[in-house]
Each structure stands twice: as C-alpha cells, then as structure tokens.
Amino acid sequence: MYADRSDKWHHTMARYLGLSLDTSFLFGILPGVCREAIGRYDHMYTKKECFNSNKVYAWSKRHAEKINSAKFGSTKAYYGTAPFLWELGRVASKQDFKPEGSLFFLPRDDQCTIRENEYERVQDLIDNAPSPTTFLLPWRTCDIWKHWNKLIIPKGSKFIQLADPIVRQEKLSQIFLRHEYIYIPWPGTDVYYAEFLDKKVIVYDKLEQYRTKTMEEMERENNIVIHWLKWGYNWLTEDQKIFFEWTRDWSSIDICVRKKLTALMLGTDALKSPEELHDDMMVQGFLEPHQKFIYNPEYQRSYEWLSNLEKTRDHSLHDHPHMLLL
C-alpha cells in the first residue's frame, strides 16, 4: 500500500508536512533533477515499479508534466517545490553565513554509470581551489568513484559523507551556505542548488568521461527500473548531449537564463507553506485522513524566507531554445 521510502527526502518531507518521521507515504519522491529522463521519454518514473506506487512527488515542472502526460505511464505526479529548499530555508533563516572557500563534490560513479580512471585534472583543480575547502564523498557505496583515494587532499580540509538520512539535507544546506565556490563533476541537481544561492559554479568533468557499467560492474541486479537509470555518454540521446553540454559550461549561460532554468528545475513557482502543501496534497489524494498537520515554526520561517527571496526574482522573460529539450 505504501511507497518505498526516499533515502534523500523522506525525513524532510515528513517534517515540512508536520508529520512524524516514521510516517509512511502513499507516494514516492523524485530523487533529483533526473538526468535519465531529460531529453527522452521517461521510462522509469512513469512506472509503478519505480517507487512501488502509482503516485510521485515531482519537483521539476517539466518532469511533472512529462509524467502526467506519459502515453504509457501508470503514475500521477504531484508538482511541488524541491524538498532541499525547505531545509535550506530552515537553516538560512536561523543564522547568517559568510561564504568563503570551496565546496568540492568529488567525481562519482552511480548504480549504472562509471567514470574513467583519469584523476590528474581533478588533482589540479583541488590544488588551485580557493580555501578553506570541504570535500563531499557520496554515502552510497555504488556512487563512490573507485579512484578517489588517489587524490591528495590538502591539509586542513574538511571531509564529509552525508551518512545520516535524518540530517542529510540540513548538513548539505549548511555546507552550501558556508562556501563561495562549488565544484561539481557533472551538470546535475547540485548545479541548480548552487545557482539558487548565487554561488560560483565550476562543472569540471567532460560528459565523455562517463560510460554505462557492464552487468559485472553493477552492484544491483538489473531490472525494469534499473535498466533506465543510466547517463553514461554512450547511452545519452543527441538531445541529452546537447542539453548537458550546454549546462556543463554553466558560467557561459546568460545569468537570466540560468535563473529561469533553476526555477523550472526546483519548482519555485509551486512553493506553498507547510499547511497549504499538506492540505492540497490531502485534497489530491496524496495524504491519508489520519495524517494530521502539526505546526512547526521552523518550517514556517523557512517558507517565509524562501517566499521573500523569490519575490525579488524575475523568471518571466528569459527562455532559451535548449529548455525545450527538457
């Protein structure tokens, strides 16, 4: 009856909706800006098998539309704001941050994708990144790049692995807010988090450095869902290559276009207060009658912080032809 729990978003979703952390949801939650569904038909998140549910919380506007209009889909998407922003607003509204130095996302593999062995260019970037530097290593073993231990980490650097799911997004929010430069290997979700906060973004790997894993290299058994969870260069469509090559050169994109694309990816136009979101999801059949809202002042302040920030931004007139590839 209940959907599989998100290892990223379950606790944040429960807290924002004013519910207990042990709540079970009827819906799954998209893990991020799902590159495997950009520039091609979504064969993964339109299937009930993906989250063991025919309901999904989607926080990219174009992706929600794609799921709800899918010709062969069996799922219904609720379009809302990226859950990360709720934790970001909660952290940012409690204290002032003076950003400095670099947050460095190390190269990563994935369940179905693997990065090449080259590490010398990464080392050069590390050696020249503004300090102090915090390095982020993925918490899933399948995501850890097998050659990361060849890198020489500068003395005095911090090294973080977001292993605790209860505070995972809170800690990620803190390290984003504390740093000025954000180094990211691939143009995925973290690029949009960084742009939302007006950080200096460096996407440092080439698309061609990633390939699809062989069956022997995969840690999980291939199935109807895992089969589509791929973003190696040899798997990308031409539209995907165009879009990701465009966003890989992030700083060259006009800033107004970057802001509009970020708003689309993070669902900022769907921002609701905790109580408004709870009530609307109840009406839409995504919550059950016994799941009663309990007011949490920290998340109300988060909503107000995000809402005030969005009032200062204009996303109306800054499109780009490549956005149609979404």
What's the 3-state SS for 109-138? CCCCEEECCCCHHHHHHHHHCCCCEEEECC
CB 227 within 8 A of CB 49: no
CA 292 to chain centre: 28
Domain limits, the chain: 10-87+265-325, 97-259
Judge whether residue 221 has pLDDT over 70: no
What are the pLDDT digits (tens) for 19-56? Answer: 999 999 999 999 999 998 999 999 999 999 999 999 99
Output the pLDDT for position 291.
98
CB 125 within 8 A of CB 205: no
Residue 284, SS3?
coil
Judge whether residue 314 has pLDDT over 80: no
CB 17 within 8 A of CB 278: yes
DSSP state of 4: P
- Taken as a whole, the chain contains a residue count of 326
Helices and strands, counts by H and E, the chain: 10, 10
> pTM of whole model > 0.85?
yes
What are the pLDDT digits (tens) for 272-306? Answer: 999 999 999 999 999 999 999 999 999 999 999 99
What are the pLDDT digits (tens) for 142-177? Answer: 888 989 989 999 999 999 999 999 999 999 999 999
Cα–Cα distance between 124 and 98 in angstroms, integer? 26
253 φ, ψ to 5°? -80, 135
- What mean pLDDT value characterizes the chain? 93
- 13-17, 197-201, 212-216, 249-253 — which is least confidently predicted? 212-216
